[in-house]
Amino acid sequence: MDDTRIIRTEYSDLMQKSFIDYAMSFIVARALPDVRDGLKPVQRRTLYDMYELGIRYDKPYRKSARIVGDTMGKYHPHGDSSIYEALVVMTQDFKRGLPLVDGHGNFGNIEGDGAAAMRYTEARLQKITQEAFLADLDKDVVDFIPNFDETEKEPAVLPVKLPNLLINGSEGIAVGMATNIPPHNLGEVIDAVKAYMKDENISTRELMRYVKGPDFPTGGIVINEDELLEIYETGVGKVKLRGKVEVEKAKGGKLNLVITEIPYPMIGANIAKFLSDIAALSETKKTADIIDISNQSSKEGIRIVIELRKDTDIENFTNMLYKKTRLEDTFGVNMLAISDGRPETMGLKQIIKANVDFQFEVATRKYTTLLQKETEKREIQEGLIKACNVIDLIIEILRGSKDRNMAKACLVEGKIDGIKFKSKESKIMATQLQFTEKQANAILDMRLYKLIGLEIEALINEHEETMANIYRYEDILSRKDSMAQVIMNELEAIKKEYARPRRTVIENAEEAVYEEKKPEEMEVIFLMDRFGYAKTVDTVTYERNKEAADIENKFIVKCKNTGKICLFTNLGQLHTVKVSDLPFGKFRDKGTPIDNVSNFSSAKEEILCVASQSELNLYRIVFVTRQSMMKVVDGGEFDVNKRTVASTKLSDDDEVISVVILKEQRNIVLQSKEGFFLRFPIEEIPEKKKTAIGVRGMRLGEKDSLEAVYYTQNAIETAIEYKNKNLSLNGLKLGKRDGKGTKVRV
Catalytic residues: 120
Tell me phi and psi for residue 36, to 5 degrees. Answer: -75, -50
**CA-to-CA dists, residue 600 to 112, 533, 566, 591, 621, angstroms:** 32, 12, 11, 16, 20
Residue 331, SS3? strand
Secondary structure of 115-159 as H, E, C letters: CCCCCCCEEEECHHHHHHCCCCHHHCCCCEEECCCCCCEEECCCC
Closest CA to 303 of 376, 244, 352: 244
- β-partners of residue 680 are 668
Contacts of 469 (CB under 8 A, 6+ apart): 370, 374
- Contact at 8 Å (CB) between 518 and 576? no
3-class secondary structure, 401: coil
- At how many degrees (to 10) do helices 270-283 and 314-324 cross? 120
- Give the whole-angstrom CA distance, residue 52 versus residue 147: 14
Q: At what angle do helices 480-498 and 348-389 cross, to 10 degrees?
A: 110
Please name every residue paired with 630 in a beta bridge, in sequence order, or none if there are none.
Answer: 624, 695
- 383 near 435, Cβ under 8 Å? yes
* CA proximity to 564, closest of 531, 596, 598, 533: 598
Closest CA to 197 of 475, 492, 419: 492
Full 3-state SS string of 231-260: HHHHCEEEEEEECEEEEEECHHHCEEEEEE
Element (H, E) at 379: helix 348-389
720 has which bridge partners? 727
- Which H/E stretch holds residue 348? helix 348-389
Question: DSSP secondary structure string, 439-490?
Answer: HHHHHHH--GGGGSHHHHHHHHHHHHHHHHHHHHHHHHHH-HHHHHHHHHHH
Instruction: Quote the DSSP letter at residue 27.
Output: I
**What amino acid occupies position 273?**
K
SS3 (DSSP) at 577: strand
Taking alpha carbons only, the member of 129, 194, 123 closest to residue 158 is 129
Do 321 and 327 touch, CB atoms closer than 8 A?
Answer: yes
Quick one: which of 26, 516, 82, 20 has its CA closest to 287?
A: 516
Q: Are 123 and 62 in contact (CB under 8 A)?
A: yes
Cα 255 from Cα 717, distance rounded (Å): 65
Residue type, 120: Y
Pairing of strands 221-222, 564-569: unpaired
Report the chain's terminal Cα–Cα distance, integer Å: 83
In angstroms, the CA 435 to CA 333 distance is 64
How far is the C-alpha of 374 from the C-alpha of 376, rounded, in Å?
5
Side-chain-side CA neighbours of 59 within 13 Å: the count stands at 13
